[in-house]
Amino acid sequence: MNYQEFVGTVTEFLRESLPCGTKLEMLPLEKNNGVIMDGLSIRRQGQKVAPTIYMDACYREYLNGRSLKGICDQILECCQETDFEGRFDVDFFTDYGKLKSTVVYKLINADKNRELLKRIPHLPYLDLAIVFYCLLTDTPVGNATVLIHNSHMKLWNIRCADLYRDAKANAVRLLPARLCGMAEVIRELSGGKEEPENVGVPMYVLSNTQKSLGAACILYDGVLKSCAARLGEAYYVLPSSIHEVIMVPVSAVGDEQELSAMVRDINRTQVRDTEILSDNIYLYSPVSGKLTLIES
C-alpha cells in the first residue's frame, strides 16, 4: 500500500467510526528545516481544540511492520477517550504570566529555517538560531511543546529579550545538562547489552536529561567551561542533531576537515531531515572561553 492509499484508508476508517459532524482535514505542517509534513486534524463538533495526527509518522510505523488496524485503533482511541476540550485549558495560553515558567529554548539551523524565522522570535548564534517554545506537561497527550510565534509576542506584549531571560532561567531547571562518555551512551542505548569498541578517540555527548532538543545545552552558563575541565583541553563540538552535540578533544583530531566531512556524511545518511542541526563544526577554547564556527 502506497502513502496515498494508506492515508485514504485511515481517513475512511475514521469517518465511519467517529461521531457524525466530526471534521477531518489534512493540513500541511511546517517542521524544522523547512520539512513539510501531513497532519490530519480531527475536530469533533463544537470543540475548539483538535488532535492532529502526523500521517507521515503513522505510515513509517506501517512500513516497519505495524498493522493497519493497530494504527487506526490507536488514532481512534486518542480521539474518543481524550476529552481535549475538558482537559486542555485553551485560555491558559493567552496569559504570559501563567506561561513564563514553561518557556525554554532550542537551537535550529538558521539557513534551513529562513522562512520560519520570519514568523518567530529568535536570536542569532553562530550559524544557528535560538528559538523559544513552551514545554507543557500533563497535557491530554502527555508532554507537549508549543513553538512561540511573533503573534504570541504581540498577544502577550513582551519582547524577545523577555523570552530569552525566562528561557535561560527555566532551561537549566526543567532540562538540566548532562555530559556522558560515548561508551556510557552506547551501553544505555543497548540496555547494557553492548560494549563499544575501543576506537581510540575519546568522545563525549552533551544533551539534557530528557535527551530531547538537548543541543541547546551549549547555551547554558558555564557548561562549555565545565566540559573543557572534564576533557582537559580545547575541543571540537560536532552538531550530532538538534538533540545533542558531541565533544572531541583537539589533541585526538588529526584533520578538522575530515571531522567536518564526517558530520556532513552522517547528516545525509543517519539523521532525519527534521533533526539536522548543522553541517559545520565548532571549536571551544578554554583560554578565550568562546565557541567559534569552523566553516567547511
Q: Among 128, 153, 174, identify where a domain stops.
A: 174
The verdict on 205 and 283 lying in the same domain is yes
* pTM of the model as a whole: 0.84
Enumerate the β-bridge partners of residue 37: 29
Domain boundary among 155, 174, 193: 174
User: 207-235 pLDDT, tens per residue?
Assistant: 999 999 999 999 999 999 999 999 999 99
Question: Of 174, 208, 233, which residue constitutes the final position of a domain?
Answer: 174
Task: Dump pLDDT digits (tens) for 8-24.
Answer: 999 999 888 888 888 88
Cell of 158: 513582551
Q: Under 8 Å CB-to-CB from 73, ≥6 apart: which residues?
A: none
Answer yes or no: do 163 and 182 share one domain.
no
Amino acid at 221: D
Are 191 and 286 members of one domain? Answer: yes
Tell me the C-alpha distance between 147 and 136, whole Å: 11
Q: Are residues 187 and 281 in the same domain?
A: yes
Residue 279 pLDDT = 95
Same domain, 290 and 248: yes
pLDDT exceeds cutoff 80 at 143:
no
- Say whether both 103 and 137 belong to one domain: yes
Are 165 and 182 within one domain? no
pLDDT > 90: percent of the chain:
61
Query: Is residue 72 domain-shared with residue 117, that is, in the same domain?
Result: no
- Domain holding 98, by residue range, is 90-174
Domain count, the chain: 3
